[in-house]
Amino acid sequence: DADVTQTPRNRITKTGKRIMLECSQTKGHDRMYWYRQDPGLGLRLIYYSFDVKDINKGEISDGYSVSRQAQAKFSLSLESAIPNQTALYFCATSASLGQGAGNEQFFGPGTRLTVL
Amino acid sequence: QKEVEQDPGPLSVPEGAIVSLNCTYSNSAFQYFMWYRQYSRKGPELLMYTYSSGNKEDGRFTAQVDKSSKYISLFIRDSQPSDSATYLCAPTGGGKLIFGQGTELSVKP
């Protein structure tokens, strides 16, 4: 079974709709992250959470919100989707240990979102 | 200026070639330097990492960091078709990874 799962894997929606992407992990990690990936732009951090009560904005948080429901669950919402939010979205987790391999982030399989 | 700049490619090489993938960064506080590999339609996976300046070798892969010039490199020896993927450099800072744009590599049989 996958350690980091994302649902849905693919989603097509219309401009103005509210969308929620969900992420669950069984790795027991405290830290969770949401990224979007666009061609030529690499992975850009949207939000991150170092524990259940800690939520932080990343590089490109405008138009997005998150909820950390439990240690294992971290959801990303687009309150009113727009076409330039069409992208590949990844959830990732890492351990609290921040040194060496503790910096390693484990990624989910991604959600391909298309906003028409 | 982006914190991390990576040669975007794409890069196409014949099987057996030596491949050099490069990044530059601007934040001198970075201490750990990660390389992730991403196959098509998959999430990125950690390939290897280095701490501070120097080289680290893992099989056919060598990661190199020169902190004085803020330059990061990944070398692949005897490249194989199975190495075809996107490679992302990612220095770390404040518990976060700062990703480069990624270089798409294709190794032709």
SS3 letters across chain A: CCCEEEECCEEEECCCCCEEEEEEECCCCCEEEEEEEECCCEEEEEEEEEECCEEEECCCCCCCEEEEEECCEEEEEECCCCHHHCEEEEEEEECCCCCHHHHCCEECCCEEEEEC
What pLDDT score was predicted for residue B54? 86
What pLDDT score was predicted for residue A103? 74
Strands A42-51 and A106-107: unpaired
Answer whether B43 sits within 8 Å of A110, measured CB to CB: yes
Cβ contacts of B100 on chain A, cutoff 8 Å: 42
* Interface residues on A facing B, Cβ-Cβ cutoff 8 A: 4, 31, 33, 35, 40-45, 48, 50, 58, 90, 92, 94, 98-101, 103-105, 107-110
State pLDDT tens for residues B54-106: 899 999 999 999 999 999 999 999 999 999 999 999 998 777 889 999 999 99
State pLDDT tens for residues A89-107: 999 999 876 555 667 899 9
Supply angle C-alpha A71, A105, B57, rounded to 5.
155
Answer whether A101 sits within 8 Å of B8, measured CB to CB: no
Answer whether B95 sits within 8 Å of A42, measured CB to CB: no
What pLDDT score was predicted for residue B8? 76
Residue B8 touches chain A, beta carbons under 8 Å: yes
Mean pLDDT across B21-48: 93
A34 with A93: CB under 8 angstroms?
A: no
